[in-house]
Structure 1
Amino acid sequence: MNRTASDTPTPARRKALVTGGATGIGRSAVLALARAGFDVAIVYGSSAAAAQATAAEARTAGARTLLLQCDVSDETAVRRTLAAVAEAFGHLDALVNNAGTTASWKMRDLESLDLAEWDRTFAVNVRGTFQVSRAAVPLLRKCKDAGGSPAIVNTASIVGLRPGPQPLPYAASKAAVVNLTKTLAWNLGPHIRVNAVAPGWMEGDWMERMLGEKYDELMGHRAKATPLKRCVTADDVAEVMLNLLTANRFVTGEVVVIDGGFTAST
C-alpha cells in the first residue's frame, strides 16, 4: 500500500473515500466531492500516475487528499487502508464504492469465459464492495455520532438490472451489487444510508474497450435512441452520486438509473 497526503489539514471539511478513484467515474466523483467541500481519500489499484493527477486537481479545488494503493479484493489490504484513512481523517462522511473490473469473452460463446476471470470480477466488484463498506462502518458511525448524515454510494450498472452485451461475470456481479446495496441499507439503517447508481452506456475508455472499432457507430445509435439524445458521461454519474451523498436524507436502498431515459423508453 502506497500512501501520500497533502500537508495542510482542513478540519472543517467533510471527509470522503472513493475506491477506483483515479479514472472514469471515480475521478469525476473525487472532483465533485472536492468542489463540494470534502477532503478525499483516493483508493486506486494500479493507475498511480492517474491517481496523482486526480489528487492534484482535487487539491486545486481546495481538498486535502490521501492517496492509497489497495486491491479491494484483499481483506488485509482493505483493513490496512481504512486504518490509514482513520489516522488521517478521523471519520468518514461519505464512501463511494467504485472500484471495478470485468472479464474478456466472445459474446454468446459461454466457453470463451475464463473462470479465473469470473472469480476475479466477483472478488473486486462484489466482495470488494462489501469489504470496504464493512471496514468503513466505524468511521461512518463516528460521523453519525457527531451529528452528521453518513452515506454510501455503490457503482452498479444498467446491465445489473437488464440483459446487455457486457460479459456475463460483469453483469452478474453488478446484479449482486444491486442486491448488496439493498441488503446493506437494511443492515446499516437508520445510521448510514446506502444507495447505488446504475449508469447506462457511458462515454469514455470503458465502453471503447468493450465496443472496439464499433464504438462511435454503436454509441451514436444509442444516443439517437435515448430521449435526452446523448450517452451518459462520468460527470453525469458523479453529479447523481454527490446528490445521494449530500441530500436525499430519507432515501436508502435505492438504485438510480442514469441513462437519459433509454431504459424507460424501450
Structure 2
Amino acid sequence: MTERKKALVTGGATGIGRSAVLALAGAGYDIAINYGSSKAAAEAVAKEAQGLGAKTLLVQCDVSNDAAVRQMMATIDASFGHLDALVNNAGTTATWKVKDLESLDMDEWDRTFAVNVRGTFQVSRAAVPLLKKGANPSIVNTASIVGLRPGPQPLPYAASKAAVVNLTKTLAWNLGPDIRVNAVAPGWMEGDWMERMLGEKYESLMTARAKATPLKRCVTADDVAEVMLNLIQSNRFVTGEIVVIDGGFTSST
C-alpha cells in the first residue's frame, strides 16, 4: 500500500484554507491543519477530511510567533515525519476608511504584516527540513490580486500581499532546486471575507464584478484550492510564479 503524502495548511479552518484541506485530502494527502482561533471550524474541516480518507492533525499556532511555529513543526515531525506540501494561507487584514490614511491604526498595520509576511516566511523556513524529506516538495502561498493591482482594500493588506508576491519569488530562488515555491492571487472571492470587506454593498458590487468578468462569475475558494493542488501535484518545472485566479477580469480591463 502506497503511503499517503503529507501536507500542512495554515489558516486551514475556513475559506481558502478549508477548501485546500479538502482538495488535498481528496487527492490522497494526510493534513496538518493549522488554525489561530477557529477551533470549532478546524475540528469540523478535520472531520470532513477524515471522511475523505485523510489522517488529520490539528495544530493551533499564531504563525507570527516563531517559537510557536517551531513547536508546531516539531509536532508535525513527530506525527508525520515529513511534508510533501505546504500551503501558506494564514492571513489577516486591517480596517480603514477608503482614501483616509489617518483612519489606519498602525498596530493593525504591524499585525497584518506580522501574520501575512513574517508568518509566511517563518512557516516556510521552519518547514524546509521536513519538505526536503518529502517527494517533489512544493510550497504554495496565498497572495492576492490586490498585491499586483491595488484597489480600495486596506493599505496594509494590499502592501502585505505585494510583499508575499516578492517573498514567493525570493524563496523560489533560495530553495531551488529542492523545493518549488509558487503563489496564487485570487480576485474578488465569494464568501465571508469579501462580505466583511464590502459590507452592505457586497451583493451589488459582486454582481457587477461578475458581469465584468469574462467567465461571468467571481472566484470561489474551491477554484483557488484547485489551482493550489495543480501547482503542488503538477507543473514540475514551474517555480517563482504568481497565478492570478480571477476569471480573466484583470486581463480584460
TM-score range, shorter chain: over 0.9
Q: CA-atom RMSD, angstroms?
A: 0.8
The runs of 4+ residues in structure 1 deviating greater than 3 Å are none
* 1:5-48, Cα deviation, whole Å (9 max, x unpaired): xxxxx971000000000000000000000000000000000000
Alignment-derived partner of residue 143 in structure 2:
156
Question: What does residue range 107-122 of structure 1 map to in structure 2 within 5 Å?
Answer: 107-122=98-113
| Counterparts of 1:180 and 1:39, CA distance in 2 | 27
Question: What TM-score, normalized by structure 2, do the two folds share?
Answer: 0.99
**3-state secondary structure, aligned to 1:120:** helix
Write the letter of the residue equivalent to 1:132.
V
| Counterparts of 1:158 and 1:219, CA distance in 2 | 15
Question: What TM-score, normalized by structure 1, do the two folds share?
Answer: 0.94
* 1:140-170, Cα deviation, whole Å (9 max, x unpaired): 0011xxxx20000000000000111110000
* 1:208-234, Cα deviation, whole Å (9 max, x unpaired): 000000000000000000000000000
Counterpart check, 1:231 vs 2:218: yes
Counterpart check, 1:175 vs 2:165: no
Counterpart check, 1:31 vs 2:22: yes
Write the letter of the residue equivalent to 2:124.
S
Write the letter of the residue equivalent to 2:172.
A
Structure 2: which 5+ runs fail to align?
none
| Counterparts of 1:207 and 1:164, CA distance in 2 | 13
Q: 1:249 aligns with which of 202, 212, 236?
A: 236
Write the letter of the residue equivalent to 2:177.
P
**3-state secondary structure, aligned to 1:241:** helix
Structure 1: which 5+ runs fail to align?
1-9
Write the letter of the residue equivalent to 1:161.
L
| Counterparts of 1:50 and 1:164, CA distance in 2 | 30
Alignment-derived partner of residue 64 in structure 2:
73
| Counterparts of 2:200 and 2:18, CA distance in 1 | 25
**3-state secondary structure, aligned to 1:263:** coil
Alignment-derived partner of residue 89 in structure 2:
98
Alignment-derived partner of residue 7 in structure 1:
none
